[in-house]
Amino acid sequence: MTADLYFEDFRVGQVIESAKKTLGEAEIVDFARNYANLPYHTDPEAAARSMFGGIVAPGYQTAALTFGLFVDTGTFRACGMGSPGIDRLRWLKPVRAGDTLQVFAEIVEVSPAREEGGRDAVRISYETRNQNGETVMTLTSLHFVRRRPSHDTAPSGPTRDEGLDT
């Protein structure tokens, strides 16, 4: 877990490493049955005959795991305000049962709000690696983050950007 971070704490080139997670076959099959019900994700016999030669995780499971591992670092615990989306996502190698994944998240851009009351942002390039150090997935995403709160002013409640209906 990192200490609480705010916009002012992010620097281009900064890398945040996650913990590691090993993915089991039952976890892959369960996810796939719900979200990517294809034989090479759910049926060991069919998967053995596929181009993968065995069960592989759905790409979106790898993406979900990537973001989950990153969130567990605590980086966005105090400052996270959501994201407008992913800029680029690439699956480079299949993820198999027994693979242990770790995320390396590099800050590639730090953008202050353009106007008073706007949202500050950081762009992060995520690289997910397996136990052999091979990159299995990359993605880049923009995230809105809060500035460090001022100690001389009390919080005034949620802003429009934080979901207050107006």
pLDDT digit string (tens) for 5-33? 999 999 999 999 999 999 999 999 999 99
Q: Would you say residue 130 has pLDDT above 50? A: yes
| pLDDT for res 150 | 83
C-alpha separations of 20 from 23, 25, 48, 143 in Å: 10, 17, 27, 23
Can you point out the beta strands (E) in the chain? 15-22, 85-91, 100-111, 120-129, 135-145
Averaged pLDDT, 97-112: 98
- Reduce the DSSP state of residue 25 to 3 states and report it: helix
